Structure 1
Amino acid sequence: MSISTATSPLRRWLPLGAAAALAAGATLVLRNVSPYASGSPLPSCPLYALTGLYCPGCGSTRCLHSLVHFDLAGAMAMNPLLVISLPFLLLMLLYGAGVRLRALDPLMRVLANPMFWLVLLVGYALLRNLPWAPFTALAPG
């Protein structure tokens, strides 16, 4: 048995295991610590603090807090892109671990393209900072 054969399953499943551990830890914290409380130890967005502009991640902590408290409407109000992206991120982790459905191959080719994510995140950041409807719905809160 060669070293590469022995580490191959570990390399495949490590990102999924790390994401699961991170999700479990975040769930534990967000079940017990509210980002809405004054003096909350959870960080706020440094870009928003410096510029007053929303980044693609603005509202993510409050969004995830709402999700772990089963408040989908609250989560969508804070960061709709994150809520919509979570299932696709899980699919990407599973795909990387070798769990593949042939029917999803075209979708996975799109999701695996860094340019897709760059355009999506930059476009989302621009749209959520526009001061008129319907784009104001993309801003946190």
Structure 2
Amino acid sequence: MRGVDAETAQPTPTGAVPKGRSARLAVPAAVLASVAGAFAYVGAVDPNEPGHYPVCPLLRFTGILCPGCGGLRSAHAFVHGDVLAALQANATAVLGYLGFAVLWTVWVVRAARGRPLRVELGPVHLWALGTLLLVFTVVRNLPFGGWLRP
């Protein structure tokens, strides 16, 4: 026997308890609170001052900048509203912040409507993302890629 969810008028599976809107938004809210907390910490504790954060092991042992190098400086600048400094510190990180904002917004809208978020990345998408990060890493470590270094 199936019931009907009062808020969405959608059928519920047998024995399923329909969730209210606040329950559906609890996980996206918790994720946002966690990300906001992390950004608040990085905004308050300046990564440009030595001794606050560990050094990237790849950079320390090889001298090669990884795709994440400069990410904390980028987040610090982003929190303080300096988007150009954030882009200069790590452009892919800024794209990641914006991508997260879009994905989170879609998640909240779908959760409020009682629909699940489905992000289906196929092999082409994953290869494209990996290639982008690889090209970014290689270019920022070459002499002409100085504009991509933190």
TM over 0.5: yes
Shift of 1:88: 1.9
Shift of 1:13: 6.4
The 1:33–1:118 alpha-carbon spacing in structure 2 relative to 1, beyond 3 Å, is: same
Q: Deviation per CA, 1:92-122, whole angstroms, max 9, x where unpaired?
A: 33445564xxxxxxxx877992222111111
Say whether the 8 Å CA contact 1:56–1:124 is kept in structure 2: yes
The 1:115–1:10 alpha-carbon spacing in structure 2 relative to 1, beyond 3 Å, is: farther
TM-score (norm 1): 0.71
Please identify runs of 4+ aligned residues in structure 1 that moved more than 4 A.
Answer: 3-6, 9-13, 108-112
Q: 1:26-105 counterparts in 2 under 5 A?
A: 26-40=38-52, 42-96=53-107, 99=110
1:117 matched to 2:129? The reply is: yes
Matched length: 129
Shift of 1:37: 1.5
Task: Give 1 or 2 for the bigger CA radius of gyration.
Answer: 2
Choose which of 26, 34, 48 in structure 2 pairs with 1:22.
Answer: 34
Q: 1:125-140 counterparts in 2 under 5 A?
A: 125-132=137-144, 135-140=145-150
| Identical-residue share of aligned pairs (%) | 29
TM-score (norm 2): 0.68
Structure 2 unaligned blocks of 5 or more: 4-14, 111-118
RMSD: 3.3
- Would you tell me which structure has more helix in proportion to its own residues? 1
